[in-house]
Structure 1
Amino acid sequence: MIWNLGSINIDNFYEVPHLPAAGETLAARSFGFGLGGKGANMSVAAARAAARVAHIGAVGPDGRWTRDRLLEYGVDTPHIAEVQTPTGHANIVVDAAGENSIVLFQGANVKLTEAIIGQALTEASPRDYVLMQNETNGQEYCAATAQSLGLRVVYAAAPFDADAIARLLGRIDFLVLNEVEAAQLEAATGKTLDALGVEDVVVTLGAKGCKWVSNTGEKAFDAYPADAVDTTGAGDTFTGYLVAGLDRGMTTENAIDLALKAGALMVTRRGTADVIPDLKEIQDRFGI
């Protein structure tokens, strides 16, 4: 079982000819909206990877439909609270090459209470997984509670904040971050990834794949070829599938391989949570 303390956003998408420069006004070629937020994306990905996942989060009255959408996608939703703060949202511009720029409003995502988090985790069992990102409050309390209950803590270090990671070191079992974030973390701590005291670290490298750093050494994984049209949500899809694979008892190598396949398929689609591929799509695409 996966318990995901995660953000829930309403994503607004704008397709533009290129990413805007400072002071530039661009006419969007198209507009759309849907379910998003790193937390929601990862919950949907894990559920579509055949894991059972419960989302711990908050929405405002304007975001009730996002909770319904998560339930529709197979995510357990009893621990999503409704608060009197607007639901988080993200304005996402995507250029012709599939690259994106995002402006984020945190909203209800930072109005979680220890009571909400603690009540959810009372239902957890030892060896369950707790997944977190840096888009909600309550991370330290959640990690400490999870550790005391014998749960494994996975932290996806985005949006990156070295201080946030530093406060969690000693409580993280599995750390996921991208290449830029990894370099920033090493610079901020003065330590290499294998000296952080984290059992497993996965660094995503975009089109170059990823690397896994553990107490047994470092291993590189190549990415699967893909004609990318939108990279939004690809990292979240990777992480959700990775944790789902681990929760289902896969080896770390096999879970990473599955996550890379999911990410490769995700970048061929426009959107976020609503277009994350399910396990059968990946099996059909890659013949597994």
Structure 2
Amino acid sequence: MTIWNLGSINADYFYRVPHLPAPGETILADAMERGLGGKGANMSVAAARSGAHVSHIGAVGPDGQWAIDRLTEYGVDTRPIAKLDAPTGHAVISLDAAGENAIIVYPGANRELAQDAIGLALTESSSGDLLLMQNETNGQAFAAETGSKLGLKVAYAAAPFSAEAVKAVLPYLDILVLNQIEMAQLVDETGLLPGPKMGVDTVIVTKGAEGCTLYDRANGWDAIGFDAILVDPVDTTGAGDTFTGYFLAGIDRGMSTDEAIGLAIKAAALMVTRQGTADVIPDLKEVLDWG
């Protein structure tokens, strides 16, 4: 099977700072690096490095061939990626000594992908494939409805959070992954909790160092907690994306939900011991051998 990921592709600019700046404060960075990022690219790399076949649906600008090449190197099928006139998306990431971050994202080409291009890519899919989306591109509602009609299992990572975006795709979702802040925002905006009224078979709420909670139709929507693996974090950027990519890769190859979550937690824990995003996501052997 294939994981079809409608996802962002960014150049990530990392600035190592002594602390995250307060409003109105100017500070000097100790170092700067550029890497491949974007929630979509991170998830595609994570799933591919976990052994899944991943086709990335997205867009870059005239300056984005390097990003396509990097995704290809990591095992992602990049044929559905369009080259547009808009600049490639980018993110400015401040990292403090504790590994916490503050991020500004410029979407660029990620928000310019034509609906026809999304539809054309999905015509290559097969019933039973997975469709993954986040909120850093356009076209999620169209993709979700199209994927559902084609018999794909539709997964959605609700970040960056937008209540309108989530409500537009909820009727088509099979899997929803979001952090505890985003879950609280969703409840505030819609009043919906994981369960029959939400209508999503599997909901995972991630909680950083506190692990995650699973709400699943098969378990009668009971909250099932999973502990995180405690590590000394270097950089928390991309940890949630690594979790999602590994989780879906596990589901794609037939693991149980519990097994896929366990693998994803381990991958995310290893990820936060490294500085960077897509370029430092561990492969499956590294995750299995770690610890």
> Which TM-score band applies after superposition, normalised by the shorter structure?
over 0.9
For the pair 1:261 / 2:251, whether they are aligned, the reply is no
AA aligned opposite 1:274: D
Partner of 2:46: 45
Partner of 1:198: 200
Which residue, 259, 267, 279 being the options, matches 1:274?
279
CA distance in 1, matches of 2:170, 2:47: 24
CA distance in 2, matches of 1:143, 1:168: 6
Partner of 1:229: 234
Q: CA deviation at 1:64?
A: 0.9
Contact 1:6 / 1:135 at 8 angstroms: preserved in 2? Answer: yes
Deviations 1:211-248 (A, max 9, x none): 00012222100001211010000000000000100001
Partner of 1:120: 121
Q: CA deviation at 1:191?
A: 2.0
For the pair 1:249 / 2:254, whether they are aligned, the reply is yes
Partner of 1:130: 131
Contact 1:11 / 1:33 at 8 angstroms: preserved in 2? Answer: yes
AA aligned opposite 1:259: A
Question: Within 5 Å, which residues of 2 pair with 1:62-101?
Answer: 62-101=63-102
Contact 1:186 / 1:193 at 8 angstroms: preserved in 2? Answer: no
Q: Which moved more, 1:96-105 or 1:212-221?
A: 212-221
Structure 1 gap segments, 5+ residues each: none
AA aligned opposite 1:22: P
Partner of 2:210: 208
Give SS of 1:90's match.
strand
AA aligned opposite 1:109: N
Give SS of 2:59's match.
strand
Deviations 1:143-193 (A, max 9, x none): 011011000000000000111111111101000000000011111111222
CA distance in 1, matches of 2:200, 2:71: 31
AA aligned opposite 1:200: T
Partner of 1:174: 175
CA distance in 1, matches of 2:288, 2:199: 35
Contact 1:110 / 1:135 at 8 angstroms: preserved in 2? Answer: yes
CA distance in 1, matches of 2:124, 2:276: 33
CA distance in 1, matches of 2:49, 2:231: 20
Give SS of 2:178's match.
strand
After TM superposition, where is structure 1 displaced by more than 3 Å over at least 4 residues in a row? Answer: none
Q: Which moved more, 1:208-217 or 1:40-49?
A: 208-217
Contact 1:51 / 1:247 at 8 angstroms: preserved in 2? Answer: yes
AA aligned opposite 2:223: E
Contact 1:59 / 1:81 at 8 angstroms: preserved in 2? Answer: yes
Give SS of 1:91's match.
strand
Deviations 1:27-76 (A, max 9, x none): 00000001000000000000000000000000001111000100000000
Structure 2 gap segments, 5+ residues each: none
CA distance in 2, matches of 1:248, 1:113: 31
Give SS of 2:290's match.
helix
Deviations 1:82-128 (A, max 9, x none): 00000000000000000000010000000111111111111101010
Provide TM-score, normalisation by structure 2: 0.97
CA distance in 1, matches of 2:193, 2:73: 42
Number of residue pairs matched by the alignment: 286
Which residue, 217, 224, 228 being the options, matches 1:219?
224
Q: What's the Cα RMSD here? A: 0.7
CA distance in 2, matches of 1:206, 1:12: 23
CA distance in 2, matches of 1:30, 1:249: 42
CA distance in 1, matches of 2:29, 2:260: 38
Deviations 1:6-40 (A, max 9, x none): 00000000000000001111100000001000000
AA aligned opposite 1:144: E
CA distance in 1, matches of 2:103, 2:193: 29
